[in-house]
Every structure is written in C-alpha cells, then in structure tokens.
Chains A and B, each alone.
Chain A
Amino acid sequence: MSDLNRRSFIKTTGIAGGGVLIASFASVPPGVLAQTDDADLVSNYDLNAFIKVDSSGKITIYSANPEMGQGIKTALPMIIAEEMGAAWEDVTVLDAPIDETSFGRQSAGGSTTIPRTWEQMRKMGASAREMFLSAGALVMEVSKDELEASRSRVAHTSGRSMTFGQLASLASRQAPPPEDELMFKSRESYTIIGTSVSGVDNLSITTGLALYGIDTNRRDMLYAAYQKCPTIGGKVVRANLEEVKKMPGMIDAFLLSGNDNPRELMDGVALVGENTWAVFQAKQALDVEWDTSRASKDSWTAMVNRAQSLHGSRGDTETIDKGDVEDVFEDADNTTLEALYEFPFVSHFCLEPMNCTADYRKGSDGEKDSLEMWVPTQRASRQLEMCQRLYGLGEDEVTIHVTRLGGSFGRRTSNEYVCEAIEISKRMNAPVKLTWSREDSVRHDFFRSGGFQSIKGAVDNEGKLVAFENHFMGMETDGRPVSGARFRDTEFPVQNISDAYLSQTMFDIDTPCGPWRAPGSNTNAFVVQSFLNELAHAGGRDYVEFLLEILGEPRWFEPGNIRSLNTGRAADVISLAAEKSGWGRSLPAGTGLGMAFYFCHAAHIAEVAEVTVDADRNLHIDNVTVAVDVGPIINMSGATSQVEGSVIDGISTMMTQKITMEEGQIQQSNFHDYEVMRIGQTPSVDIHFIQSENHPTGLGEPALPPVAPAVANAIFSATGHRIRKMPFAEEGYTLV
C-alpha cells in the first residue's frame, strides 16, 4: 500500500491546546515525503509525525522547532532516538513543515522548548519503540516482553534479532500503544541522552551549504532593501525615486505607507534590484523627506537625568510592601546602604541581518492569492495570524519555511521584516528577498530596554540581611511595560526576607523594545547581585556565606513548580561554584574572585569570575566557573556551548555595549560604534552540572545574567572599586 493510501485511512488527531497525540501519525505532509518517496527504491514508513523509518534502516526524525544556535535541532531528536532505541548514526534529522496540529507549538523562546517538549519527545520515541516491539513479537513469534529495542534492532532474550529496517513496514501498521501505558527508559540505561553529540547541521555549516534565510534563492527572485525613517516612527513625504531607479542594477523604487505598528509595517522606501549590492547602493543614494512631527522624541540623556532626580524616592506604584522596612532602616544598630544602578539599551546584533524571502502570487480566475515565505523566525505562528489579519490569507494559502537562524536571542519574534517583504513581493508580483543592512538591523532593532534601580538595603550588626527596598525605573510604551521591564516580588531575595518594599516608576517611550536573552533577568541580576555584595561587604561578611544565610533551609517556594526558587538547589550550585573556583584562597594584589547567583528560566546557576585589573583599569578575566542545575542534560556538548556562549555574550554586553537615542534617533549603527568581544579577550569557562532528578529545563538564556555581577564583584574584590553602571567601559575599564 502506498504511503498516500495508507495515510488516507489513518485519522489525524491533533488535540486543541497545542499538545500532540501519539496517534496523530498521518501527518507528515505530502511535500515532505516527496523528498524521498518517489526517488527511493527503499520504502518509507511513518511511525508517527516525528519518525519515519525506511526498509534499509535509515531513521528520519523531524525537527519541528526553530534552530537559532541553541541546539534544539539536535537535542530533541536525541530524546526521540533514545526512547526509541535507535542508534544515533542511523538518524537523519529533517526540518518539519509548519503544522502545529501535527507537531505541537513550533516556536522557540524563553528557554521553554526543552521543558515543554521533553514529555512529548519521549512519548514519540517510546511509542515508536513499542510498535517495533509489537512487530518483532509477531514476526519472531515470541512474547513482546522478551524483546528489547536497542541500537536500531529488536532483540530477543535468545539472541535472535531483527533490524528496525526489516520491521519498519509491519511496525508502522501496529496500533500505537495508549499514552498512559508508555514506559520510559531509566536514566542509567541512557546511551544517547547525556552524551556529547555534534550538531546535525555541522557538515552543512562547515562546507557552506544554504541553511539560513539570507541564503534563500528562488527562480526569478528579485532583491530588495527597505529604508525606514531614522527617527523612529517618521512618515515618508517624498524621495528621489526617479533618480535611484536609474542606478545600475535597479528595477524599481516606491514608497510604502505603513500601519504605524513597528512590529508590522512602518512607512518607508522600497528599493528593488537585480542584486543586494544594487539596492544597498541605491539606499545610500536615497534622499528622503520625512515627517517626524509625530515620531519618537526619546532621549537617553533625559532618561538618565530623570532617574537621577528620582534616586532616593519611592516610585509611582507600589508593588510589594511587607514587614516594615522603614523601621529596619531607622534602627541605629543596622547598617543601611543606598545606591543608583544604571543599565543601557542594547541591540541584539544577530550576525545574520534581518531578512525574509516572500513570494506573493495573485490568484488567477477567481482563485485566492497565495503566499510562500522563507523566514528566519522564532514564531512562525505569529506570521500565519498576521497573514490572515492583514492580507486575508488563511493557512491553506500560506506556506512558511522556517530556515536556520543566524542568531536571534529574542530578536526574530516580530513580524516587520516579514511584512515588508510581503508588501514588496505583492507589488512586484515576483519572489523577493529583502535583506536589511547591518545599519538597519541596529537602528531598527527591538532593543533590550535600559533602566535604573534606586536600591536600598540593610544588614544588622551581625552582617545579616534584614531589609531590601527597590525603586525600579523601567520603560513602557502605550501604558504597557516593555519586555523585561519588571522587578517581580519573586526576585531573589524578596521572598527570603521579612521586610521588603518594591515600587516602580515607568518612563513612557516610543523606541521599540523586545525580548533580549533572559529579559529582565539580564539586568536585574547585575543590580541585585552587585548590591547584595555591597551589603555583605558593609556587614563584614564573606559573600558565599551571606548568600547561603539568606537562602536558609532547603525549601521550594512552590513545591512542584520548577519556575519557583528552590533554596536547596540554589545553595548547591553556590557551594559547587565556590569549591570549583577555589573560593577563599588568597590572591595577589589586583586579582580578585567574584560570585553571583541567579535563578531564572527554572535554572539555578552560580558563577565565579576571577579577574586581574591593572592601574589603568585594564581588565583581564582569567576564568569564569559556572555551576548549573537545569536537571538532566540532554546533549552535553550543546549544553556546555550554551553556557560558554551565554557567559561570553554577558561579558561582551557588560563591557562595551550601549545603544543611545536622542530626538528619537538611534545613534549607533555598526561594529565601529557598537563594540563586540573578540577571540583574544575570551576567558576560559569552567562548567559544572548538577544533574538533579528534576524535569530538564532550557539553557539558552539563564547562564547569562550572573556573569556581569560576578565580574563586577571580582573587580571590587581586586581593587575596591564598585561598578554600578553598565557598560563597564564607561567606568574606564578595557577588556584585555
């Protein structure tokens, strides 16, 4: 029976609400199967939406979530292969099409993919394994309990065995076992999970094969650039279109008027040509008149001034008031400290600039229009929704190919570069690749918002933390806080002490902001872990002891909720980082150790930086020791990569990066005015995992927040100089 016929009688049973039933195995769309079905002499058999095995034993596992460097395209198939009993070398990973009914949520972000799909991937693998065992029992005429699946074979206790390839056809026709009867392998028996597996795209990456959105090439494709107003939100009045159209390689130039939504379409000038360079040249030659009367007037200088004037006061809105902090601060036996911390806006600076290829086709003879797109995106489902809302195109008319992402860090969650490509393609009635320049990618980013915290705390005469107060000054747009602009009452150490007061004042801005690797956490960690270190010092305390004392008895604030602080896990990572870094040893002058702990994204992480600083504030980070508890590790190589990458990203950002705006214009544009860390400045990173029995959780973000305070605390220990502002370059430090 051909796959097509077989599929036609198996019903698809996606569940509403995003889950995926094991029985939804009719769901690999024809387009995907066409890649191999017709051409191959071997036959392919679907075990479920994620797994296909052919009669030669080749196993195809579909990766359904966007890969942006976080390693998900390797890690999720590893989980499936493990439970299935596959040998990893038999596995080929292919990208799944966008089909959330079959594959569940196909986004990535918030370090949630692993925790969200762990169960689902295990079920897919275990279900396929059971189908192979049932098939093996039938063919070998033995009882199923005497069989075991491993290394892509079904083996009987007698020693007889058959390969997955031999059993594939029959296995695919076995009923998938009920979900609640599925058994998972024990950790001790893992042969794939927890090992180091090289990324499945590494051969393509190292040989230069097309993977990224920017590499898309379609027949008769045109190239486009889009110029928006340098002052955020400006409207286009007129431009020298006729002149730029005459430039070499140019095909067309026209104005687009937007819907004033920076996440969709803003006004601008579209440039279409025969190649990217032609349109970039035309962009340089553009002379545009903008109407900025209603555009952003944001000014970083004004924000700094306002924050300084608010320092020491309480915010507009109280967010928590417990105990009586005033009383504690007034007690003469206590030592009270107060400080203003500052952190700037920063850019995502993904190395692959924003881009999208769209092919909008007008329907002929009353047929509906259709749209096919190649998009590096973290959230394809948002684009489906947008296509429906803005263009009246339903899921049947829209095909989205999610490409590999050349970095994202939260950036590729908006739709505007997609919308721009659609508009230009629609106008040209041809496939169009829109490429943003580096300058566009910096000036029109959705930035990590800057902010300020006026923070106050007290230690008693034994150096114990007794009160904590914070006035958070963050950004909001149209009355809503921007991504990460929050200081929650679950922020450490608020839950751990009896006297705490939190308030906030929000600054209204028009500069677009969005999620940036560990939103909120990446700045709150710097402020709180630096300030607690100030308090420990004021109380004459060792910082590790001080932290362990605040944590107190091992307890879980909301038992069973992995997103709540577990003080036992916290204490364990702090102690491990201290031990591995040689905390407490004596160091030469100008050298220091600094510790920071942070809990976010369900991850407990402690980091110790060792630094050497000279009289000219040349800063050498000798080493960063990291202790991590995110439960069991799936891919050891991928996990250490994420930790190393987060630490380096955190240092790079902390040292030099800062986006400023005046009169609504972003003042940075490329590498010459937005510095990034280079290979020679890279510290060694020494990583230790506590593989607790907890549910595995994501590691794309949480190792970043602790590094800046760890380095700041180390600088203090080496020099006595306290840094309360990022980037550290503004305090005169140079990373060497």
Chain B
Amino acid sequence: MVDLKVNGKTHAVDVPSDMPLLWVLRDVLGLIGTKYGCGIAQCGACTVHVNGASVRSCSTPLAAVGDGEVTTIEGLADGTNLHPLQQAWIEHDVAQCGYCQAGQIMSAAALLAENPSPTDAEIDLALQGNYCRCGTYNRIRKAVRSASEAGVAIFDPATEVTA
C-alpha cells in the first residue's frame, strides 16, 4: 500500500510498485482523462505532470513517482475556472477525434509554466513527442500561442505545491 498524490488528493493504492502510473490512474483511480496510445513513450497521449514536469505515465512506474505531486488533465482547471489552455482549445475548436488532446494540453501546460511566451519553434519542440493522428497540429500551435498571449496567470496545482 502506497500513498499517491494526484490533483491535490492523496490516495492509498495497493498495486505492484512497477505498475505504470498510467494504469494506476485509469484502472485503479478511475481517472480516465489520461490516455493510452502506445505504451512505449512515443505518442504522448498519456502525458501528466509530476511536480510540474511533463512525464509519459505509460512508462513511469508507480515507484518512480514516490511522493511526487501528480497532476492530470482532470486537475488542470482551478475548480470551475478552466486553464487558459483549455479555454483556448475550445475557442480554436482544436480537437477532431480529441483522443490525443489531454496529452497535448498537459505538454503545453508544462511548457507555459516554464516559458509563458514561447515561440512557434519552442512550441514545436515541447510538443514534438505528442502525436495527433487527426492532424490538428496547426490549431494546437495557434491555441498555445493564444493562451500564452492571453497573459493569464498559469495555475498549476503541482507547481504551486512544490514552489
């Protein structure tokens, strides 16, 4: 039994310590916003934050999280106030099938937390590990840019806790 901190709550979980964080989130905690796409750290669909940094949860064993603060797409908004990226994603109607988008948003949120006004090249670099089968890349770039230009303070529970 280990304690796992997710989106500001602590959960006691009783699973093997080598179980990837992705499956702990999805199958044990029921947080299905984080997606399975490849299982080999290649597609980015499973991106979450651990202590504010974006990680591929499919390839992060529970043991490696330790007492780190995990933030998932479900925990990105501040209560009912959407994260600026979530707003921008809706305004720009980014999603097609939408399956990759939680991972895209989480990667972009980690970027903006570090670098509030990234260039297109910096956006491309930060998101190069996030695959979109539907090809929404141009809108993703636009949405990230507009969220960054909006200049709204970026709320990230994980970074707030560790700061």
Contact = CB atoms under 8 A, between A and B. Distances in A.
Contacts of A345: none
Nearest to B97: A69
Contacts of B31: 208
Contact of A206 (B35, B89, B121): B89
A653 to B, nearest CB: 11
A122 B19 CA distance: 52
A71 B39 CA distance: 28
A207 B135 contact: no
B135 A644 contact: yes
Chain B interface, DSSP helix/strand/loop, else mixed: loop
Select the residue from B97, B136, B141 with max chain A CB neighbours within 10 A: B97
Contacts of B151: none
Contacts of B27: 223, 274-277
A332 interface: no
The number of chain A residues touching the other chain, given as a range, is: 35 or more
A254 to B, nearest CB: 21
Nearest to A277: B23
A647 interface: yes
Given A199-B93, A208-B31, A351-B100, A682 B138 contact: yes
Nearest to A704: B135
Interface residues of B, number: 62
Interface string A246-268: 00110000000000000000000
B32 A217 contact: yes
Interface stretch (A79-87, A132-140, A402-410): A402-410
Interface string B26-42: 11101111111111101
Nearest to B39: A438
Nearest to B105: A206
Contacts of B39: 280, 437-438, 670
A493 interface: no
A190 to B, nearest CB: 19
Contact of B26 (A276, A349, A407): A276
Contacts of B128: 678-680
B158 interface: no
A70 B42 CA distance: 25
Most central of A196, A405, A676 by chain B CB within 10 Å: A676
Contacts of A201: 95, 98
The 6 A-B pairs of least Cβ separation, nearest first, read A208-B33, A648-B135, A69-B97, A406-B99, A208-B73, A69-B96
Given A208-B73, A642-B96, 12 more contacts: A201-B95, A206-B82, A211-B98, A212-B35, A275-B15, A276-B26, A408-B97, A641-B93, A645-B135, A648-B135, A649-B135, A684-B138
Interface of A: 68-71, 196-199, 201-203, 205-212, 214-215, 217, 223, 248-249, 274-277, 280, 349-353, 404-408, 435, 437-438, 637-638, 641-642, 644-649, 652, 670-672, 676-680, 682, 684-685
17 contacts: A68-B97, A69-B97, A206-B82, A206-B86, A206-B102, A249-B15, A276-B23, A276-B36, A351-B35, A352-B97, A645-B96, A645-B134, A670-B38, A676-B131, A679-B130, A680-B125, A682-B141
